[in-house]
Each structure stands twice: as C-alpha cells, then as structure tokens.
Amino acid sequence: MDMPVPKKNAPLRQKDPPPRWRKEVQSVLLSRERIASRVRSLARQIEKDFAGRDLVIVALLNGTVVFLADLLRRLSMPLRLDFIGVSSYRGGTESSDLVFTKELRLNVTGRDVLLVDDILDTGNTLFRVSAKLRRLRPRQIKICVLLDKPSRRQEQIAADYVGFIIPDHFVVGYGLDYAEQYRNLPFVGILRPEMFAPRHGSQT
Ligand code: 5GP
Ligand code: MG
C-alpha cells in the first residue's frame, strides 16, 4: 500500500472563491474541506503526543479563534484552555511592536503548554510570546500553527505542528484578518491587491 502523502506539503492549487467573495478575494488557497481534513490529523497527532500529560492550550487572540474552535472539538482528552492577547499595531500586513492586551490567567508551571497561533510569519510574535511563557517554567512548550510562511522568517523559531506551509502571500479567512475584516471566510484566501488600503492598528 502507498504511504499517505503529507498534506501540508501537497501542492496548493488556487481556486476561484465563492461568488459572494469574488470581488474581494482573488483565489482560494485552502478550501474548508482541505482545512478540516488537516485539522483532524493535527488533532490526532496532538492527542498521541500529549497522552497522559497535564496539557494547557494557550491560544493567541484574535486570529486563532476559528482554527482553535475546530481543533478543540477534535481533541478527546483532558485539557485546559487559556488565551493571550497580542496586538501588533501593524500598518496592515507587517508585524511590528507587540502589545499584550490580555495576560495568561492559568498556572502553567510544570505543565505541558501547546501554544496555538494562526500563522508563523517573521516569527517575532511567537518568539517573544514563547520567551515570556518560558519564564513561567512550564514542563515544555510546543507550538502549533495553522499556517507557516518559512520564507519570511526573521527569528530562529519553528512550529512543532504545522497545518500548511504556504508561499509568501498575505492570506485572509478562517480567523485571519485584514484590518479586522475577512475573519469569517470559511476558507483561506488571497485578497485582491486593490483591497489593500493605507491604514493602521490591527490585532493579530
Ligand atoms: P509574525 O510575528 O510571525 O511576523 O506574524 C504573526 C502575526 O502576523 C500572525 O499571528 C498574524 O496575525 C499576522 N500575519 C502574518 N502573516 C499574515 C497573513 O498572511 N495574513 C494575515 N491575515 N495575518 C498575517
Ligand atoms: Mg495572529
């Protein structure tokens, strides 16, 4: 029998978005079906790796909400959930200075932390958040992201669980925003270039 091909490395074929979004979204990079199937296998892997552990999932607001909700419902194991709020005050598409808008409330000392974010881009956000968490002395910190853009990395950081490796496009949907919009798209898509307008202040 053939070995299953790892889905995160399968070629990404861009498709037309549903008519409702066609004016704003140029193409669908990841369909909802493709995401759902990948989330299922990520959850299976996480269940296996953290079996019997004292797991705390720490998700970054706001970009993880959709991914997190789907992932959580696939995890049939005891776990605790908490959030960290990070705002990067980007001018639209570039992360810059980080501001913490919500601090962790649960005790993670001695516990296993799974840090969940929507996308690993330059790595600045997760690099700084994981350094901050490490000071709380968890047993270990593992990182899970839906998307990874390795070509943009500036910090020495890698995720332990990656949904999809994607090329250097600014993507929206399935929780990811542009200027706080498009989080509700059920797929991950590429915005039309004309949708980018100069503005400031955005939550990651
Ligand atoms: P990093 O700090 O790794 O550069 O970026 C992390 C944050 O930047 C992500 O959590 C996300 O909020 C934002 N970001 C990076 N790339 C993209 C992208 O392609 N689309 C969207 N919507 N946000 C992105
Ligand atoms: Mg984010």
Buried b (16+ CB within 10 A) or exposed e, 89-128: ebeeeebeebeeeeebeeebeebbbbbbbbbbbbbbbbbe
Best residue among 66, 87, 99, 176 to mutate for probing ligand 1, ranked by most atoms within 8 Å of CB: 176
CA distance 53 to 67: 22
> 7-59 pLDDT, tens per residue?
555 667 778 999 999 999 999 999 999 999 999 999 999 999 999 999 999 99
Is 203 close to ligand 1, i.e. is its CB under 6 Å away?
no
Sheet containing 55-61: which strands, arranged edge to edge? 99-102, 80-87, 55-61, 112-120, 140-148, 161-165
The phi, psi pair for 88, rounded to 5°, reads -105, 0
Is 172 close to ligand 1, i.e. is its CB under 6 Å away?
yes
| Nearest protein CA to atom 5 of ligand 1, as residue | 121
Position 97 scores a pLDDT of: 77
Q: What's the gap in Å between 120 CA and the centre of ligand 1?
A: 7
Position 158 scores a pLDDT of: 97
Q: What's the gap in Å between 176 CA and the centre of ligand 2?
A: 7
Is 170 close to ligand 1, i.e. is its CB under 6 Å away?
yes
Is 117 close to ligand 1, i.e. is its CB under 6 Å away?
yes
H runs (alpha helix) in the chain: 32-49, 65-74, 124-134
Cβ pair 176, 190 in contact under 8 A: no
Considering every ligand atom, which ligand is closest to the CA of 188? 1
- Say what the pTM is: 0.90
First to last CA, the chain: 43
> 151-197 pLDDT, tens per residue?
999 999 999 999 999 999 999 999 999 999 999 999 999 999 999 87
Report strand pairing: 188-191 vs 171-172.
antiparallel
